[in-house]
Every structure is written in structure tokens, then in C-alpha cells.
């Protein structure tokens, strides 16, 4: 059913309005069961070092899952939606930033730009997955195409990329950073160094580095995957600036990733990403309630674990067809066009 534009806007604004108010108790409980849980897992890891790495490695993987949930708290603090208090959001954002190796103030600005430009073909390049249109890919040089294919390769995108991002890029200020953001990078580096030095001296630096590497790899890979499927899926939305619409980009360019309850918990409800993009002021602990309360939001077709895997083959945005396509579809269409020119099109 096609909705009147004004009616649709009013409907979703009414549906989500009451979920914008942060809850001190819900936020506090989530910090206790998430950061507290992460600390408990680390304690179990320390105890396991005297037993067997067959126990340590699974615990490190579990800690990586907990770190994904910590990042969602960090993310909400960046939106100022987790607590009513700005000071509390900044404090817990910094704490979660130390644990996730991510400078809070710099990430906050870049992520705000992502929300303001998501789905806009003319404003790509900040806080998003590198995505070319079909025509841009065809017009690119051989080396540019190779670079694009390498960057979109799953091993690079979900394994190597997160490590480079968290251990390298996030550790160095850029020329685009404000003084406050540069300072946040240096303070974050100092805090991470102190954390690493303390744990390394307690359990041995080789042990710490291996455990931390497993945790970061699990959390980074899962985090990038979540971000990928939130915007790179069949039926997603992209448009040029003149036609781009915030509500359409949120409802149709951000996925509803329907995960099993245990994975929904570890991912901090971020699978309800269409709601988050409609209004980033809604904290993660209210996203599911908001989804269930609104018929409009429930109309968004979900991605499941199985259907989300199909997104891996989608590489380029086809502006003429208004859809994401894979490399093979481009080759087939070019071969078909060549055949038509050589042999003529059937009448």
C-alpha cells in the first residue's frame, strides 16, 4: 500500500516519540551486565591461563562478543541518547572507547556524518563501506578496479580491515580532526597503553597480546559485518542529492536484521537499524519495543541470518535498475550488449 508522504512522516514520528527519553535504570543495568560481564569474562580468562588454552580461547571469543555489545553502548553515548546527562554520555563513551580502542569524540563526529549522508550517492566517503556505482566501476582504471575488488573482498573487509582500523587508523589523528578530537585520540592512546601495560605485566605481554588480538578480531569482524548488512542488502536505498530523502534512506536504506535472541543481545538490538536511522535519539534498549509498537515499522521486511549472506555477492550500485548487483551481472550485461551490437537485436 502506498502511503501519503505527510501521513507517513506523522505516523513514524508519533510511533517513536515516547521511546526517545533515556532511562537511567535501564542504562545502568545494561552497563552492569555488559561491562561488568566483560570484566568477569576477563577474570575467567586470567584464571584459565593456568589451565589450558582450550579454555582460554573460547573465553576470549566470548569476550569479543561482549565487546560488540560494549560498542553499542559507546555508539549510543556518541548520539547522546544513552543517558539524559551529557557528562554521563561522555564519561561512559570514553570508558567504552578505551575497551573498544576507539577515540570517542572523533568517532562521534564521523558517525554523525554517516547518519546525515547514508544512502546519498553524492556524499559517500565518511563512515560507510566503499561503494561504487556500476558506471564508476566501468569507467575506472584497471588498478582502481583491482583496489576496489581487494577492499570488498570478505577477508579484507571483515578480517584484515577491522584490525587495521582499530590498531592503526584509530591510533593516529588526521588533518581533518578538530583540536578536541586530536586530544581524544592521544588520551585514548594513553588509556589503552596503560590498560595494556597493566594486563601485560600481570599475565605476560605475549599472553595479553594474543588474547587481546582474538578479542579484537572477533569484535571487529562481527562489528563490520553488522555495519555491512545494515546498508548493503538487496532492496536497499541510494539516491542522488536532488532526490535523496532522509526518511526513505532510513526505512529502506537501513535493514531490519532479525537475529536470534542471543545474537540480538550481543549486538545490542542494533539489528533494528531502520528505527535507529529514523531517530538516533532512541537508545538501544528501546529499539525492539519501538519496532513492536508501530505497524509502520513492522512493515519493513527483515533480513535473516540466511538471507543476509546473499549480501556478500552484492558489490556495485546499479543506478538504472536502482539495486545492488554483483560483478557477474555486470559482465553478463556487457556481454549481452556486445552480442547485440555484433549480431543485432531480435525484432
The per-residue pLDDT for range 187-202, each reduced to its tens digit, is 999 999 999 999 999 8
C-alpha cell at position 156? 579484507
- The answer, yes or no, to whether residue 309 has pLDDT greater than 60, is yes
- 255 contacts 274 by C-beta, under 8 angstroms: yes
Mean pLDDT value across residues 20-36: 95
| Residue 19: all three cell numbers together | 521511546
Which residues, at least 6 apart from 174, have a Cβ–Cβ distance to it below 8 Å?
Answer: none
First to last CA, the chain: 37
pLDDT of residue 346: 38
pLDDT at 2 over 60: no
pLDDT bin (cut points 50, 70, 90) of residue 25 is: very high
Give the residue among 161, 123, 148, 141 at the shortest CA–CA distance from 316.
148
The answer to whether 271 and 256 have CB atoms below 8 angstroms apart is yes
CA–CA separation, 194 and 7 (whole Å): 54
The answer to whether residues 60 and 272 touch, using CB atoms and an 8 Å cutoff, is no
DSSP reduced 3-state for 302: strand
Asked which of 80-84, 258-262, 300-304 is least confident by mean pLDDT, the reply is 300-304
| All residues at 6 or more sequence positions from 221 whose CB lies less than 8 Å from its CB, including other chains | 158, 159, 162
DSSP-assigned beta bridge partners for residue 325: 316
Residues whose CB falls within 8 Å of the CB of residue 139, separated by 6 or more in sequence, listed in order: none
Average pLDDT, integer, range 222-239: 92
Q: Which segments within 148-276 are labelled E, that is strand?
A: 256-257
What are the two backbone dihedrals, phi and then psi, of residue 120, each rounded to the nearest 5 degrees? -95, 110
Using CA atoms, how far apart are residues 265 and 285, in angstroms rounded to an integer?
A: 10
Residue 4 has pLDDT above 70, yes or no: no
pTM of the entire structure?
0.89
Give the ranges where 103-141 is alpha helix by DSSP (H): 104-117, 134-139
Long-range contacts of 158-164 (CB under 8 A, 24+ apart): 158/221, 158/224, 158/225, 158/228, 159/217, 159/221, 161/224, 162/216, 162/217, 162/220, 162/221, 162/223, 162/224, 163/216, 163/217, 163/220
Average pLDDT, the chain: 88
Amino acid at each position: 500500500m502506498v502511503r501519503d508522504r505527510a501521513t507517513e512522516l506523522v505516523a513514524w514520528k508519533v510511533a517513536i516519540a515516547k521511546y526517545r527519553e533515556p532511562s537511567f535504570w535501564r542504562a545502568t543495568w545494561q552497563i552492569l551486565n555488559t561491562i561488568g560481564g566483560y570484566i568477569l569474562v576477563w577474570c575467567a580468562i586470567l584464571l584459565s591461563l593456568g589451565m589450558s588454552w582450550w579454555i582460554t580461547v573460547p573465553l576470549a571469543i566470548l569476550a569479543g562478543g561482549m565487546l560488540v555489545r560494549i560498542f553499542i553502548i559507546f555508539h549510543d553515548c556518541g548520539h547522546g541518547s544513552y543517558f539524559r546527562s551529557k557528562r554521563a554520555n561522555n564519561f561512559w563513551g570514553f570508558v567504552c572507547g578505551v575497551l573498544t580502542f576507539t577515540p570517542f569524540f572523533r568517532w562521534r563526529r564521523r558517525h554523525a556524518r554517516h547518519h546525515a549522508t547514508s544512502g546519498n550517492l553524492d556524499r559517500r566517503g565518511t563512515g560507510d563501506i566503499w561503494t561504487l556505482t556500476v558506471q564508476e566501476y566501468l569507467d575506472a582504471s584497471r588498478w582502481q578496479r583491482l583496489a576496489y575488488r581487494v577492499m570488498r573482498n570478505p577477508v579484507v573487509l571483515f578480517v584484515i580491515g577491522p584490525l587495521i582500523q582499530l590498531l592503526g587508523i584509530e591510533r593516529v589523528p588526521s588533518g581533518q580532526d578538530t583540536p578536541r578530537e586530536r586530544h581524544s585520540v592521544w588520551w585514548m592512546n594513553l588509556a589503552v597503553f596503560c590498560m595494556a601495560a597493566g594486563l601485560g605485566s600481570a599475565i605476560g605481554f605475549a599472553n595479553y597480546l594474543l588474547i587481546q588480538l582474538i578479542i579484537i578480531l572477533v569484535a571487529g569482524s562481527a562489528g563490520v559485518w553488522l555495519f555491512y548488512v545494515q546498508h548493503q542488502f538487496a532492496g536497499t536505498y541510494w539516491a542522488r542529492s536532488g532526490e535523496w530523502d532522509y526518511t526513505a534512506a532510513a526505512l529502506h536504506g537501513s535493514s531490519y536484521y532479525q537475529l536470534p535472541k542471543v545474537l540480538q543481545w550481543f549486538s545490542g538490538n542494533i539489528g533494528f537499524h531502520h528505527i535507529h536511522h529514523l531517530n538516533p535519539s532512541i537508545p538501544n534498549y528501546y529499539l525492539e519495543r519501538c519496532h513492536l509498537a508501530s505497524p509502520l515499522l513492522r512493515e519493513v521486511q527483515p533480513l535473516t541470518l540466511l538471507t543476509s549472506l546473499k549480501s556478500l555477492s552484492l558489490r556495485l550500485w546499479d543506478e538504472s535498475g536502482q539495486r545492488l548487483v554483483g560483478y557477474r551481472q555486470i559482465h553478463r550485461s556487457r556481454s549481452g550488449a556486445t552480442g547485440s551490437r555484433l549480431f543485432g537485436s531480435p525484432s
